[in-house]
Amino acid sequence: MRIKHLLIYSSLVIFSLAGCSKQITSDAIEAPIEKLPENYKITEDFENVTKTGYAAADISISTGSWNFDDALVGDLAADLKNGKKSVRMRTGKITMNFDVAGLKTLYISHGKYGKDADFTWQLLISEDGGTTFTRLGAEIQEKNTTLVTDSFKIDAKGKVRFQIKKTSATVRLNIDDIVFKGTGESGIIVGTPDTDPGEYPSTPPTSDPSRDLIIGADAQPATGDDSNALFGNPSSANGLTPDNYLLDMSYYVQSYSSSRGTPNWVSWHLDPKTITQVTKRLDNFAGYSGLPSNFYQVSNTSYYNSGFDRGHNCPSADRTSSTAANGATFLMTNMIPQAPNNNQKPWADFENYLRSQVVSGNEVYIIMGSYGTGGIGKSGALTTTIDNGKITVPSNVWKVALIIPNGNGDASRVSTSTRVIALNTPNVNTIDTDWKKYIVTVRDIEKSTGYNLLSALPQGVQDVIESRKDAGN
């Protein structure tokens, strides 16, 4: 491994990632020509975590688990920071508990806390999963009273992780905006993927709970910026039509079909606040008691031995800001019968990709849905319904994600150059693991579903971004 210390910038550098129905049979989607590995750039800015004491502890941040030893997350006036928070370290270290693959360059913004004297600190690397760490180059001289950014060239063939270590006891170091830049798949998992570990237990579940929605202070606003249906109601769902029934679940908005026992579509907003890891995945699947009394209530046992996952529309890992938020995603009105390999492979990877966009300074408006009848689950046989015919198995699963930089006035900031990614996958267990092979246009999904997606945007903007097929970079 050859490592070269490149340069020090004398001004703050901020990085962002380069560019969270009709009944028809499964669509055949042509795979694109194989491409070279794409670049990635992922930033850890420490904005969405709280650690107020210096005691050693593992903390969960957007990029993963880190160990803070004699270090905290500071927000005082004397803390050098880009934004509201940064790491403040005494005699101690911060260490990644996860690896990153394909890394070419590492960037670290740093400086002295307050009026502390000059000192030195070290950057160390591990290529064996954290068993041993080796120092990168010479100790770094810390004389900076404003944030500066160091750039490190990494020439490692495998996975690596890093440790930032300080040995001077009487002075303090601020660290902010650690940026990972590389090629291919980074391997960084933002949040816990939506697998269904309880789908095939050896014995049937003994309880069949239902519960109402709990709404916390972290719920999205009903209208305006960050609202879950800012860009429209694709099917003109309302509170009167059983098969196009509008449910505002506060943490997402959906059109629900009583006869299918699944959502037609679910819409939600994803930003750094929603993936702040206040809670872990709850796995508290339950029927939703807030449905009209004449609707069939799908329960947490309805998918048992069906060969299909309880597939989230709004993912659990997109709502970790509270137990109320995460619990809302486990209501069965948010689920579809999804082939396990479909749910746990391309969809899990695409969901993580969208969360990595958020980590890199963006917010995402997402609409996900399904259509058609007949999927192929674990059994290998075409299945049209489960739960004694009460729940329809869809033939296709789709998603549209509109990505914009963090900011205000979201609707007005969407233009013909705004990035929109649309996916449409067959609901089968033999699916390819690469989500990029299922990229389509928004107009393709509209033709298959009959919906009017992103309808709140000006028609001229829709015409451009809905007809453009994203490259998946």
**Torsion of Cα atoms, 322 then 325 then 330 then 336, to 10°:** -140
For 439-469, b/e burial (b = at least 16 CB within 10 A) is bbbbbbbbebbebebbeebeeeebeebbebe
The whole-angstrom separation of Cα 355 and Cα 215 is 23
Which pairing describes strands 375-376 and 335-338: parallel, antiparallel, or unpaired? Answer: unpaired
The whole-angstrom separation of Cα 366 and Cα 98 is 28
Which pairing describes strands 119-126 and 161-166: parallel, antiparallel, or unpaired? Answer: antiparallel
Q: Measure Cα distances from 201 to 198, 256, 337, 356 in Å.
A: 6, 28, 17, 32
Q: Name which of 187, 188, 366, 388 is nearest 274 in CA terms.
A: 366
Q: Measure Cα distances from 39 to 101, 105, 272 in Å.
A: 12, 11, 22
Q: Name which of 280, 197, 252 is nearest 369 in CA terms.
A: 252
The whole-angstrom separation of Cα 185 and Cα 353 is 10
Both tokens of 357, joined, read 């966009």
Residue 41, φ and ψ in degrees, nearest 5: -145, 115
Q: Name which of 310, 324, 225, 226 is nearest 263 in CA terms.
A: 310
Q: Measure Cα distances from 315 to 185, 221, 289, 465 in Å.
A: 21, 19, 20, 25
The whole-angstrom separation of Cα 75 and Cα 353 is 29
Q: Name which of 150, 137, 144 is nearest 172 in CA terms.
A: 144
Its sign, for the CA torsion 450, 453, 459, 461, is negative
* Catalytic residue list: 312
Q: Measure Cα distances from 42 to 150, 180, 181, 449 in Å.
A: 16, 5, 7, 34
Q: Measure Cα distances from 306 to 12, 29, 447 in Å.
A: 54, 26, 30
